[in-house]
């Protein structure tokens, strides 16, 4: 009897203890809620491989609608188990172990492989007065493996590929576009969903995000297995990248600035006369007139006497035109007057400071220009109303949104107390580009679906890929180091899930080159930069201090001119490859510019290379970023640089292992896992093709849609099985979203040396029904086949 009583007592204690333990968390439809050390923690599954973590002080409330994340949580099957002080959540993709005492979370694969650990001290909340709103400064620290490679954080001009062992204060700037996101070579990503000024810090002790303002810590863990999988998860959260028009992938010319519509039209005419391909021309600022009329969204400058005719003339020359718009307005403009009346302008110093256009600014005549509240949906609609009436209705093809961070001069702490529609400017500072680009994009789509949205913009934030925007790297100085830094800047930006990026070919400012275009070193730099631009999502020549049109660099037969022309024409021959890659980006969440970690994550020698990348999944690009063909000479008694082409120089390139490669120019076959030297005369950079690649080559054209793709080459590179999907649609509308497109699958079987062109899938108005494909191997073997949409196999011995 006594024995039975003791047993009953022990059973009762055991039951109560486990019951209490089980009650230390609350299971929800999305995940669980718990409290630990005074911190409330919510875990919400968005997909089996993506989870949102929210941490806030237990005695406060947390409610937030994300500006970046547009996905709502799916109903995800998961299990919850407790063991000791640990709560384990498990989906069919990932496992989270939560320490109930510290609140720290460990993230693992379902095989138990560790991915990421939070530091035991957990999230930190420091009381903060945000313009009268009592909130917190928030931070969260993580523990990474000692040698773990991480990438992302947006675009920075540091030349850094792996983002370890440094700190950076993230406030959007002209040449730095910050995104509080990184991904690891281990196949996971972390998005810190906060828009206030944020510090990222990494050292041997911890990796952390710390933001000035936030009611709590709010972040997303994404497990993708590899870089493409992480990007897929990020775009699943924040939006897919839509198709851009085919013409955006041609060559673009602009400068600071064309001073009349006649000058602009003459540039397009000159390209046509020279037979050099061109698809886009851009009008920079001041077409509105003086600084008091800043960004008037009208052509008030008398040099632009008939803007409708200007746009029509560009179209008549089979080119497209986009135009500079800003996020601030002069005090004499219609948008300013309407926005000011409704309290939708911010009080921060911005560009231009003076009403006088002379330099330096004459502050006796302040411009009165003010930035608008892009966080306010009504303000965004007002901006569009004037854009539509004054510019879009003329037939303009797209937008160049300058200063989209925006310019914030002589920053003062009180500037961040400005009230916006969503709270203090501080609270939402870094999301400004997302909001203003999103406003133009969404309003154009409401207005018309006849042409796809295309926006060139200077800044970005997480999620901006969903708005049809291509970000450029800002007003950079022309130098060899700057050119090299663009490579890692663009790659880390792309690794944040935003695929469209470019830079000013030749650099914006030429202050390093006193003789401007007459400086032979600059001319060499420009030639190398245009080669890099050939293999970027947008190929655009632009800059201040000197014009950059091809004819400014001489004439046919001159080395620099010929190098520029060669690579512009190469760009056009690759348009079927580039446009099909753009479909891979839209449909399959791929990337144009691919850091080597994306395709070769197990090759340790490839992980930190900052001057090579894959363009699409077939081409390895190794831009030349050092001068090779100049020497010191004398000009009028002064030391100067002179051209010296007497000796051909070389560049060394690493070819990743476990892959066979082909020299793009010579078809030489090379085994991977080695460094190779390539002679690089002024009109050649190292380009290598991965074995198994199938690259479609288009016709020689003067603009992207001049000729149909009814007679294409397929260049096939044996050594591995391969596949490619040739994509086509109507090239500039949104009918592809309704299924108006075609895919032609092409496969190479290496063992049997057979190329199979599969049955065409889909259809659209204007589809090519019958065509010819020429299949060419590196050894020169060639076969030609007719194709009417049915499967065709071509066998080579």
Kindly give the pairing relationship between strand 630-635 and strand 619-621.
unpaired
DSSP 526: H
Residue tagged active-site, from 228, 475, 504, 729: 475
DSSP structure string for 431-473? GHHHHHHHHHHHHHHHH-SSS---EEES---TTGGGGTEEEE-
The DSSP bridge partners found for residue 650 are 679
Length of the chain: 797
Say if residue 532 is preceded by a cis peptide, omega within 30 of 0: no
Helix (H, G, I), strand (E, B) or coil at 249: helix
Concerning whether 373 is annotated as a catalytic residue, the answer is no
Provide the edge-to-edge strand list for the sheet that holds 613-615.
Answer: 593-594, 613-615, 619-621, 687-690, 660-663, 669-671
Concerning whether 599 is annotated as a catalytic residue, the answer is no
Note every long-range contact of 769-774, with CB atoms under 8 Å and residues 24 or more positions apart, other chains counting: 770/710, 771/709, 771/710, 771/711, 771/712, 772/710, 772/711, 772/712, 773/711, 773/712, 773/713, 773/714, 774/711, 774/712, 774/713, 774/714
Rounded-to-integer distance, Cα 499 and Cα 494, Å: 5
Q: Residue 212 contacts by C-beta under 8 Å, 6 or more apart in sequence?
A: 128, 130, 137, 196, 197, 198, 426
DSSP structure string for 297-359? SS--STTSS-HHHHHHHHHHTT-EEEEEE-SEE-TTSHHHHHHHHTT-B---B-S--BSS-SS
The DSSP bridge partners found for residue 218 are 54
Q: Which two tokens stand for residue 262?
A: 């006649």
Concerning whether 405 is annotated as a catalytic residue, the answer is yes
| 746, 758 contact by CB (below 8 A) | yes
Q: Which two tokens stand for residue 17?
A: 């203890």
Residue tagged active-site, from 130, 176, 177, 405: 405
| 158, 473 contact by CB (below 8 A) | no
Rounded-to-integer distance, Cα 317 and Cα 310, Å: 11
Helix (H, G, I), strand (E, B) or coil at 263: helix
Residue tagged active-site, from 402, 407, 519, 732: 402
The DSSP bridge partners found for residue 773 are 712, 785
| 49, 222 contact by CB (below 8 A) | yes
DSSP 128: E
The residues assigned a catalytic role are 402, 405, 475
């Amino acid at each position: 009897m006594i024995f039975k009583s003791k047993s009953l007592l022990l059973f009762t204690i055991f039951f109560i203890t486990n019951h209490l333990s089980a009650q230390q968390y609350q299971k929800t439809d999305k995940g669980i809620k718990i409290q630990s050390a005074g911190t409330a923690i919510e875990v919400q599954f968005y997909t089996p491989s993506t989870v949102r973590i929210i941490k806030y002080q237990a005695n406060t409330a947390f409610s937030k609608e994300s500006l970046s994340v547009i996905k709502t949580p799916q109903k995800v099957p998961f299990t919850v188990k407790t063991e000791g002080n640990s709560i384990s959540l498990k989906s069919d993709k990932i496992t989270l172990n939560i320490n109930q005492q510290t609140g720290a979370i460990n993230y693992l694969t379902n095989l138990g492989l560790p991915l990421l650990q939070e530091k035991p001290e957990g999230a930190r909340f420091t009381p903060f007065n945000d313009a009268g709103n009592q909130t917190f400064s928030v931070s969260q620290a993580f523990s990474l493996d000692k040698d773990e490679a991480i990438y992302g954080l947006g675009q920075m001009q540091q030349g850094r590929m792996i983002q370890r062992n440094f700190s950076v204060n993230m406030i959007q700037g002209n040449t730095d576009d910050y995104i509080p996101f990184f991904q690891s070579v281990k196949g996971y990503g972390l998005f810190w969903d906060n828009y206030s000024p944020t510090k990222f810090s990494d050292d041997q002790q911890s990796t952390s995000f710390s933001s000035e303002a936030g009611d709590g810590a709010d972040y997303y863990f994404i497990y993708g297995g590899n870089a493409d999988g992480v990007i897929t998860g990020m775009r699943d959260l924040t939006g897919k990248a839509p198709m851009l028009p085919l013409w955006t992938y041609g060559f673009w010319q602009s400068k600071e600035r064309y001073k009349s519509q006649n000058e602009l039209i003459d540039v397009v005419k000159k390209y046509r006369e020279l037979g050099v391909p061109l698809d886009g021309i851009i009008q920079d600022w001041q077409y509105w007139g003086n600084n008091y009329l800043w960004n008037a969204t009208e052509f008030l400058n008398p040099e632009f006497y008939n803007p409708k005719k200007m746009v029509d003339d560009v179209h008549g020359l089979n080119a497209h035109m986009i135009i500079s718009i800003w996020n601030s307005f002069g005090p004499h403009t219609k948008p300013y007057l309407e926005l000011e009346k409704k309290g939708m302008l911010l009080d921060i110093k911005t560009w231009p400071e003076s009403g006088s256009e002379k330099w330096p600014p004459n502050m006796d005549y302040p411009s009165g220009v003010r930035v608008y509240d892009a966080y306010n949906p009504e303000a965004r609609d007002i901006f569009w109303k004037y854009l539509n009436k004054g510019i879009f209705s003329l037939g303009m093809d797209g937008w160049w949104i300058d200063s989209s961070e925006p310019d914030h001069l002589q920053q003062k702490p009180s500037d961040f107390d400005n009230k916006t529609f969503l709270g203090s400017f501080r609270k939402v500072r870094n999301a400004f580009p997302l909001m203003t680009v999103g406003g133009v994009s969404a309003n154009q789509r409401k207005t018309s679906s006849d042409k796809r949205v295309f926006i060139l913009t200077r800044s970005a934030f997480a999620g901006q890929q969903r708005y049809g925007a291509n970000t450029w790297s800002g007003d950079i100085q022309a130098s060899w180091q700057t050119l090299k830094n663009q490579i890692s800047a663009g790659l880390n930006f792309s690794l944040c899930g935003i695929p469209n990026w470019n830079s000013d070919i030749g650099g914006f400012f030429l202050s390093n080159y006193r003789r401007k275009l007459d400086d032979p070193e600059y001319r060499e730099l420009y030639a190398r930069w245009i080669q890099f631009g050939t293999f970027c999502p947008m190929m655009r020549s632009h800059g201040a201090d000197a014009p950059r049109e091809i004819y400014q660099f001489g004439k046919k037969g001159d080395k620099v001119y010929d190098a520029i022309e060669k690579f512009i024409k190469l760009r056009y021959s690759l348009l079927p490859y580039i446009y099909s890659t753009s479909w891979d980006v839209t449909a399959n969440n791929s990337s144009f510019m691919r850091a080597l970690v994306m395709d070769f994550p197990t090759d340790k020698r490839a992980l930190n290379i900052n001057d090579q990348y894959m363009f699409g999944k077939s081409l390895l690009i190794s831009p030349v970023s050092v001068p090779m063909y100049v020497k010191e000479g004398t000009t009028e008694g002064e030391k100067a640089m002179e051209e010296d082409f007497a000796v051909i120089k070389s560049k060394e390139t690493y070819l990743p292992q476990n892959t066979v490669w082909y020299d793009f120019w010579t078809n030489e076959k090379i085994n991977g896992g080695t460094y190779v030297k390539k002679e690089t005369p002024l009109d050649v950079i190292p380009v290598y093709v991965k074995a198994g690649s199938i690259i479609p080559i288009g016709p020689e054209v003067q603009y992207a849609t001049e000729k149909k793709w009814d007679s294409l080459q397929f260049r096939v590179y044996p050594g591995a099985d391969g596949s490619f999907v040739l994509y086509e649609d109507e090239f500039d509308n949104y009918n592809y979203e309704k299924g108006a497109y075609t895919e032609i699958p092409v496969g190479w079987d290496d063992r049997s040396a057979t190329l199979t062109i599969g049955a065409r899938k889909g259809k659209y108005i204007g589809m090519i029904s019958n065509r010819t494909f020429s299949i060419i191997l590196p050894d020169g073997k060639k076969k030609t086949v007719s194709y009417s949409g049915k499967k065709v196999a071509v066998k080579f011995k």
